[in-house]
Amino acid sequence: MKTLLRLLALLAWLIPSAYAAETGYTLKATEVKDKPFLDANTLTTLPEKTTVEILTRQGAWMQIKTADVKQGWIRMLSVRLGSPDQKPQGGGNLLSSLIGSRPRPATTSTVTTGVRGFSEEDLANAKPNAAEVEKMKGFAATPGEATRLAESGKLEVKPVAYFDENGKPLKEKK
């Protein structure tokens, strides 16, 4: 019990800090804005491969700080997670690697031993499991439950049109 409590305390401490620790770097020269809007004031321009610490995310924007910039907003699509000097690290998600719940990504075949997978081989060897589908059906949500989830999560339905590959809105239902 004591061990469990300690573990929970450790987790509670790790989760927020893991978020704060997410880092990335700029894929290209990127303007830093004082607010998360395109027409906001430009504070500075970061050169390519500038390391940034990611503070929060909002829509298209990441709030960041760097060695020189106290804080500002840059476009999410201009950022790659990890470090510009290192090869990408596995899943690239510091949250999971810090907490250690995910086994180290496998770059050698030996590491996959005992991994619960859904590899091509697992798929090839699959035997249909009807009972598991019945179990899945048992977890289904009702429309009422979905609505309550939306209400408690402050999710408001918005009219958003489909768009084509050029980003042009499509008027008609596809």
Q: Which residues inside 33-62 make contact with other proteins, applying CB under 8 A?
A: 38, 57-60
133 binds other proteins, rule: CB under 8 A? yes
Task: Name the residue nearer to other proteins (CB basis): 62 or 72.
Answer: 62
89 binds other proteins, rule: CB under 8 A? yes
Question: Which span sits near other proteins by CB under 8 A: 45-53, 66-74, 109-117?
Answer: 109-117
CA angle 99, 103, 108 (to 5 degrees): 140
111 binds other proteins, rule: CB under 8 A? yes
Task: Name the residue nearer to other proteins (CB basis): 7 or 29.
Answer: 7
Contact assessment for residue 65 and residue 50, using Cβ atoms and an 8 Å cutoff: no
- Helix (H) or strand (E) holding 5, with range, is helix 2-20
Q: Give me the long-range contacts of 104-107 (CB less than 8 A, separation at least 24).
A: none
Question: Which span sits near other proteins by CB under 8 A: 43-51, 66-74, 124-132?
Answer: 124-132
Report the C-alpha gap between 99 and 39 in whole angstroms.
Answer: 38
Question: Which span sits near other proteins by CB under 8 A: 45-53, 63-71, 75-83?
Answer: 75-83
How far is Cα of residue 69 from the mean position of the Cα atoms in its chain?
24
